[in-house]
Amino acid sequence: MPTSNPQQYVRRSSNRRRVGLPGPYDAFTLAPGLTAPGDVPLAEALTLVMTAWVKESVPVGFTAPTLRRYEHNLTRFVAYTTAMGYQTLGDIDPTICADWVHARPSGKMWPSNTTGLPAYGTQANRRTSLINFFATCHHLGLWDENPGEKVTTHGRSVNRVRPLSPAEAQRVMDRAAYRARESKLPAVVALAMAGATVTEIPQVEVNDVHLTEGVVWLPGLGRRNLPRWVALDAWQTDALTARITYLTRSHGSDLSGLSLARRDRVADQDPTKVAMATNGMLWRALNKAGLTPDDGVRPTSIHEYVANRVYIETGSVEAVAVTCGLRSLDAAARLLTTNWRTNHEVTAPVAATRTDRYNIVSTAPDGVL
């Protein structure tokens, strides 16, 4: 079938495991009632996959927010491909998958988008949704191919975002709470300063905050972040207290399931849109503090600031990983700008200083082994 951009996928297929789902070279058993692999309507395949995920008949272990995001993405994918004339699983190819992954979203936030592509995170979310969808189809015996694996993402910046300095972080907090009657923005900033990501912040419910104990539950999302308890400092506690007080006046005593950073229930949210809205709120907080992209900061600068602050306080990469909800110590170390190696390197003997052979900086790029 004709497509608009046949050259936009370049990633080669791989046999990487996705949450225990089968890879392209694993054994395939055709489901009863099918005459050939892929001979099933797309909408029916989506229903079967979502049922398997919700009932956990396929051991993927997705959290509720992740399931909502995948369902949202895949429903859009089925609608997109059906409109393009693709009716069954067997009709899908890598090109139409790439067309959808790179399709520019519509909405009021996109007129200012000059790249013609969705954000890198949106592309990655869509691609991961497809990979897990087709892998589950393989598991259920519906189709033995995974065209999502062959899609690549574009547009990620090569410039490293720097973390906020302590003075800048303090300015962000001060300016976020500048208006006496403002409660939402300080609450969003408080959660971000506690270690929450932009996708986690709107998923935090009012009842997840325990002010007496000074902790909050962060739900964790996707394959990268883990659910966890994190501690709140005095400013964060005050900001969340003000927000909960406001929501109690607005909604009464029934606060179960209510998003702390929004006015709706977490279960009713569109995960993609609320993450974009949260990102926009953090941009507003940075701008109110006089910080712009020209200063080398973005909303992720807050997350990197938290990682560096925790490392300075504890000297532990493990503590950084726990606070930021990261599964990997390597991922935690990448957030740090502090030279964490210096505390553990062995001092070279005097005789070794007379030659460049043992110069660590000269034997590794940027002084990193």
Q: ∠ CA 103-109-110 to the nearest 5 degrees?
A: 35
Domain 166-334: assigned CATH number: 1.10.443.10
Q: pLDDT at residue 368 above 60? A: no
Those residues with Cβ within 8 angstroms of residue 282's Cβ, 6 or more apart along the chain or in another chain = 188, 189, 192, 198, 299, 302
Q: pLDDT at residue 2 above 60? A: no
What is the per-residue pLDDT across 84-101, written as a single tens digit (0 to 9) for each? Answer: 999 999 999 999 999 999
Tokens of 327: 């599964």
Q: For the residues 327-346, what does the mean pLDDT come to? A: 82
Rounded CA separation 141/136 (Å): 9
Residue with tokens 């502090």: 338
Q: pLDDT at residue 167 above 80? A: yes
Nearest by Cα to 189 from 88, 303, 295: 303
Ranking 8-12, 25-29, 224-228 by mean pLDDT, the lowest is 8-12
The pLDDT score that the predictor gives to residue 57 is 83
What is the per-residue pLDDT across 243-274, written as a single tens digit (0 to 9) for each? Answer: 999 888 888 878 888 888 887 788 777 777 78
Q: pLDDT at residue 3 above 60? A: no
Q: pLDDT at residue 303 above 70? A: yes
Q: pLDDT at residue 74 above 70? A: yes
Q: pLDDT at residue 369 above 60? A: no
The pLDDT score that the predictor gives to residue 9 is 35
Q: pLDDT at residue 193 above 90? A: yes
Instruction: Give the residue ranges of DSSP H helices in 26-63.
Output: 42-54
The pLDDT score that the predictor gives to residue 365 is 38
The pLDDT score that the predictor gives to residue 22 is 63
The pLDDT score that the predictor gives to residue 156 is 56
Q: In what order do the strands lie in the sheet with 215-218?
A: 209-210, 215-218, 228-231
Record the pTM.
Answer: 0.61
Where in the chain are the domains? 1-156, 166-334
Q: What is the DSSP string of 210-279?
A: ETTTTEEEE---TTTB--EEEE--HHHHHHHHHHHHHHHHHHTT--TTBBSSSSSBGGG--HHHHHHHHH
Q: For the residues 35-57, what does the mean pLDDT come to? A: 92
The pLDDT score that the predictor gives to residue 12 is 34
Q: Is the dihedral of CA 174, 287, 285, 155 positive or negative?
A: negative
Q: pLDDT at residue 354 above 50? A: yes
Q: pLDDT at residue 115 above 90? A: no
- Given CATH 3.10.180.10, say whether it is the number of domain 1-156: no
Nearest by Cα to 9 from 101, 78, 81, 126: 101
Nearest by Cα to 364 from 330, 331, 341, 338: 341
Rounded CA separation 103/275 (Å): 18
List the beta bridge partners of residue 279. none
Those residues with Cβ within 8 angstroms of residue 167's Cβ, 6 or more apart along the chain or in another chain = none
Residue with tokens 């208006």: 179
Q: For the residues 1-14, what does the mean pLDDT come to? A: 39
% of the chain at pLDDT higher than 70: 82
The pLDDT score that the predictor gives to residue 364 is 38
Rounded CA separation 102/5 (Å): 10
The pLDDT score that the predictor gives to residue 183 is 83
Q: For the residues 334-357, what does the mean pLDDT come to? A: 76
Q: pLDDT at residue 305 above 90? A: yes
Q: For the residues 32-50, what does the mean pLDDT come to? A: 93
Between 302 and 181, the more confident residue is 302
Rounded CA separation 254/247 (Å): 10
Specify the amino acid at residue 73.
N
Q: For the residues 228-234, what does the mean pLDDT come to? A: 95
Ranking 189-203, 238-252, 355-369 by mean pLDDT, the lowest is 355-369
How confident is the prediction for the chain on average, in pLDDT?
82
Residue with tokens 């929004």: 262
Specify the amino acid at residue 9.
Y
